[in-house]
Amino acid sequence: MTSAIQKFVKILILILCGLGAILVLKTKFETSKTDEQTVSSKALTLKKYFLAYDKPARIEIIGLSNRFAEEIKQIKSLKVPQDPKSDFYITVQLFSDENDTRAPLIAQIRFIDLKSGNLKKEESINLE
């Protein structure tokens, strides 16, 4: 009789541990989905642009617009792969016309050589 009760308790413990693991995994995947959804399209556009090139040594982001403060904050929090052994770094200036309500957010992207400090490439993209 006691061995039957012990088996029942062991099975019950295994079931509860399995359910706990499922709940933990479910909440982990739900939070990662919501994090991806809250990132603005401007930040995703810029991240796709960075991923098209080799990994830079670092990325410096300067926000010059008060109107797009929330989007600039999201762009600054982006995780982009970097390589400390790379021979260049990227600077990004984010700006917009503060007086025009229809003006888009512009990203001026500069690829700068680490050793010489010379500009390798410069490009401006409209994040709208």
CA distance 88 to 121: 10
Q: What mean pLDDT comes out for the span 11-16?
A: 91
List, for residues 62-115, the tens digit of each pLDDT value: 998 888 888 899 899 888 899 999 999 999 999 998 888 899 999 999 999 999
List, for residues 54-64, the tens digit of each pLDDT value: 899 999 999 98
- The structure's pTM equals 0.66
